[in-house]
Amino acid sequence: MQQLIKELLEANVGKVKEKEPLAHHTTIKIGGPADVFIEPNSIENLQKAMSIIQKHQVNWRAIGRGSNLLVSDEGIEGAVIKLGEGLDELSINEDEVTVGGGYSLIKLATIVSKQGLSGLEFAGGIPGSIGGAVYMNAGAHGADMSHILKKAQILFPDGTIEWLTNEEMEFSYRTSVLQKKRPGICIAAILQLQKGEREEIVAKMQKNKDYRRDTQPWNYPCAGSIFRNPLPNYAGKLIEQAGLKGYTIGGAKISEQHANFIVNIGNAKAQDVLALISYVKTEIQRLYGIELATEVEIIGRKS
């Protein structure tokens, strides 16, 4: 690992840190250290970093703003690549938006709404990056990234960069081709929006933001929705009906505001959250015969 770090520093790829705690980079404020933590400052330097990682045959993982992630207390083996400054360009041409993978989804939704562009109202209040939103087909209020993505620019582990069409991204509920079939990093996206009435668009987005603020516990560190909705049922409703709101293990608690959220009420460990997830799954299976699947991505070394 020391040789990998040495070569990354010599290549001047951006920020390179050893044993960086991932609790500093996740919205739930949980996570042990990454062996190597890299913040490339350009696409070229991201390619360089990936080339060095591949040369050393080290496991890697890309993150954006750390939402929808639960990192184990033991941290992550190998390299963690964070997209941020240098991969956050923005260009708006009429109703077409080209945006870097490290760009804030909330910030973009706010900017385009003020320009009278419709299509991203659902994203008001979703605390992720564009790259992460494409990777997991983020959505809310009956819409998601698959409705607006025209093309995604993907860096693959072999260093090649390709533009994948909406169809090639193979979107489905909270998933894309990048998750298992073709692992890669979304470094940019072209979004097709529609021109509309600025006041209506801003009002709709604000309504969505207000709804999230009023119904979800963003006053505590959390990772977003923990479970996928087993449609036609809703995970939060099932958990609430089971009387599990407020149930606590260690520093992790099922939110009393929205039962599909687990919040960090103080120095929670990943093992606390995992124990809560396991307990909820067991109870919902016992009471309703429904198997809940996690929406939050659980990554890192096993304890």
Could you give the angle at the alpha carbon of 30 between the alpha carbons of 27 and 33, nearest 5°? 115
Token code pair at residue 158: 């072999």
Q: Name the pairing type of β-strands 161-165 and 297-299.
A: unpaired
Which of 67, 174, 176, 297 is the catalytic position?
174
Cα–Cα distance, 30 to 261 (Å, whole number): 15
Which of 7, 121, 295, 297 is the catalytic position?
295
Q: Enumerate the β-bridge partners of residue 38.
A: 16, 81
Q: What are phi and psi of 21, to 5 degrees?
A: -65, 125
Q: Treating both helix axes as pointing N-terminal to C-terminal, what angle do 43-55 and 2-10 enclose, rounded to 10 degrees?
A: 150
Which of 118, 225, 255, 297 is the catalytic position?
225
Q: Name 182's Cβ contacts closer than 8 Å, sequence gap at least 6.
A: 154, 156
Which amino acid, one-letter code, is at 262? I
Token code pair at residue 155: 């860096």
91 is a catalytic site residue: no
225 is a catalytic site residue: yes
174 is a catalytic site residue: yes
Residues assigned a catalytic role: 174, 225, 295
